Chains A and B, each alone.
Chain A
Amino acid sequence: MTPLAYLLQRGTALLMVPLIAAHLAVIIMAVQGGLSGEEILSRTRGSELWAAFYAVFVVAASVHAGIGLQTVLREWTPLERRGSAFAAHTFMVVLLGLGLRAVAGVYGL
């Protein structure tokens, strides 16, 4: 792991602590009145705040998971540097794409 990857890993972890807390708190509050797709979309549609919140969350989670996955692959599989980097970066891009697409969906783009 390079110093930059280390910084990104720790930085995204730090960033996600309040994001996860807020995400869990909203889930608990939201399910009180029954949970439906309509109810969720009524809160998120057109809300720039929630779009920004989850966009940041998705980027942080993708970067964090990608770096973490590369470490796990290096330590637990026979993959060497290039192979593990390719697999981890691919996973990071897929996660980022799916996550941002979901954010766009709940925002109503």
Chain B
Amino acid sequence: MSKGNGKVLRVKVWRGAEEGGYQSYEVPARENQTVLDVVTWIQRNLDSALAYRFACRVGVCGSCAMTVNGRPRWTCRTHVSRVAKNGELTIAPLSNLPVIRDLATDMTAFFEKWQAARGRFVAGKGKKDRMAAIEPESKERAAASAAIECINCGVCYAACDVVSWRDDYLGPAALNRAWAAYNDVRDGDRVGVLKAVATSGGCHNCHTHQSCAEHCPVALNPTFSIAGLKRATLKAKLKGEMQ
């Protein structure tokens, strides 16, 4: 952190699990300071029992997402100067996920839904086959590229209204991943992706609120991906490919 300026941030942090409350802390304000810096400062200087999660600190790993002043954000790349109101911050765990303790959530359901949406590669060829030639300009490659940079942070999942309403909804991250997987023409079972997302908790439940796109820290648009899945599943259904 850079040199202090004598000012103080008043920070409220969620303590406890599902039941709990906010605890107030005063943290030195710095010229350049991220929300993760603030949480780390509290944990190292004021309350070593504070539970939170982070790894890379540079916006790659997707571990440090929390709710900051009511909005889900990646805290390592969120500057306090951008989000603090009158020198105040309120930091809570991500919504739509069970809280383990303090700022750490249980992301099991989030990742299980990635599996349920078949967001993984299924080999279509063996190692003796020729390497697949994918035109960088092809429609599928462009669609996959637009969706592929997800860092699994859970911000979109926490921001999604439909996730908050329905336990079985796969959510924007898993469906965005499914769209990238579907557009991988090397995949040996692309229709399998469509079958996985055309379930009762699947892509057709999206209300196109665009909260996921609004909050995604890496500027992806899962709503657009989900719209693609809706079209693709419909076409496959009408062609009889999804029996």
- Bitwise, B199-214 to A at CB < 8 A (1) or not (0) is 1101011000000000
Is A74 located at the chain interface by the 8 A CB criterion? yes
Residue numbers in B under 8 Å from A1 (CB-CB): 200, 202, 204-205
Q: Is the CB of B230 within 8 A of A6?
A: yes
- Bitwise, B201-243 to A at CB < 8 A (1) or not (0) is 0101100000000000000000000000010011001100010
Q: Is the CB of A2 within 8 A of B165?
A: no
Residue numbers in A under 8 Å from B104 (CB-CB): none
Q: Is the CB of B166 within 8 A of A2?
A: no
Given contacts A74-B166, A76-B165, contact A4 B205 (CB under 8 A): no
Residue numbers in B under 8 Å from A40 (CB-CB): none
- Chain A CB within 10 Å — which of B165, B166, B204 has the most? B204
Which among A3, A74, A75 is the interface contact of B198 at CB below 8 angstroms? A3
Q: Is the CB of B205 within 8 A of A7?
A: no
CB distance from A33 to the nearest CB of B (A): 43
Q: Considering only CB atoms, which chain B residue lies closest to A9 in the complex? A: B204
Is A81 located at the chain interface by the 8 A CB criterion? yes
Given contacts A1-B200, A71-B205, contact A6 B165 (CB under 8 A): no
Which among B162, B200, B230, B237 is the interface contact of A75 at CB below 8 angstroms? B162
Given contacts A7-B234, A7-B237, contact A2 B162 (CB under 8 A): no
CB distance from B228 to the nearest CB of A (A): 14
Q: Is the CB of A3 within 8 A of B234?
A: yes
The chain B residues found within 8 Å of chain A, CB to CB, are 162, 165-166, 198-200, 202, 204-205, 230, 233-234, 237-238, 242
Residue contacts A-B, CB under 8 angstroms, 14 given: A1-B200, A1-B204, A1-B205, A2-B204, A3-B198, A3-B237, A4-B237, A6-B230, A6-B234, A7-B237, A7-B238, A71-B205, A74-B166, A75-B162
